[in-house]
Amino acid sequence: MALHNRIDKRILKEKMQHSSEERITISFYKYHQLAEPKAFRDELYTLLDQLGVMGRIYVAHEGINAQISAPKANLDIFREKLYSIDFLNGVRLNIAVDDNGKSFFKLKILVRKKIVADGLDDTSFDVTQTGQHVNAADFNKLAENPNTIIIDMRNHYESEVGHFKGAVLPDVDTFREELQIAEDLLKDNKDKNLLMYCTGGIRCEKASAWMRHKGFNNVFQLNGGIIEYTRQVKNEGLENKFIGKNFVFDERLGERISEDIVSVCHQCGKACDTHTNCKNDGCHLLFIQCEECAGHFNGCCSDECKEIIAMPAEAQKELRKGINKGRQVFRKGRSEKIAFRKVNHQSSTIL
Told to judge if 198 belongs to the known catalytic residues of this protein, a careful annotator would answer yes
Contact (Cβ atoms closer than 8 angstroms) between residue 80 and residue 89: no
Dihedral pair phi/psi, residue 23, rounded to 5°: -130, 150
Marked catalytic residue, from 198, 265, 290, 305: 198
Q: Strand, coil or helix: what is 63?
A: strand
According to DSSP, residue 301 is labeled S
Residues in the chain: 351
DSSP assignment string, 121-174: -GGGS-TT-PPEEE-HHHHHHHHT-TTEEEEE-S-HHHHTTEEETT-B----SS
Nearest residue to 301 via CA among 327, 331, 273: 331
The rounded distance, in Å, linking the Cα atoms of 137 and 139 is 5
**Which residues, 6 or more positions from 27, have their beta carbon under 8 angstroms from its beta carbon?**
66, 67, 68, 93, 94, 96, 199, 200, 227
Catalytic residues: 198
